[in-house]
A = this chain, B = another copy of it.
């Protein structure tokens, strides 16, 4: 088994907020991350594909192809966007890094042309990382 990773970055605004909670509860749970005026991050995204090496090409998957799939399906929808109100696959979800990673997994899992999606990793800051490997 071989694992190949493509790293991409994007910058977005978001706010952590559960409409089922009161303002006090949101403030208590999310603190400054719940600021109604938004805040934002430079997110780093690492997409890992697992597969065997194609002996004809020496590739598991052409990373130029993987890059384009990530850009078309993810980056165009999140970069310089507001994740809460503009990103179709995040509408109605609390945009924690965990939920973003799961949603990105769902967007990509059926679009990998060779091998299979193994992991979605997101760095929200240099100190906080999140990884989803499917169920």
Contacts and interface: CB of A to CB of B under 8 A. Distances in A.
Interface of A: 1-9, 11-14, 16, 18, 20, 29, 31-33, 35, 37-42, 46, 53, 56-60, 62-64, 67, 79-82, 85-86, 93-96, 98-99, 101-102, 125-133, 135
A59 B5 contact: no
Q: Which 9 A-B pairs have the closest CB atoms?
A: A40-B40, A58-B96, A58-B94, A32-B80, A37-B82, A5-B129, A13-B38, A3-B131, A39-B80
B96 A35 contact: no
B41 A126 contact: no
A116 B33 CA distance: 24
A31 B97 CA distance: 26
Given A6-B128, A37-B86, 5 more contacts: A9-B125, A14-B40, A38-B82, A42-B42, A53-B102
**A32, A60, A63 — most chain B CB neighbours (10 Å):** A63
Contacts of A1: 133, 135
A69 to B, nearest CB: 14
Contacts of A8: 127
Contacts of A96: 53, 57-59
Contact of A79 (B16, B32, B80): B32
A79 to B, nearest CB: 7
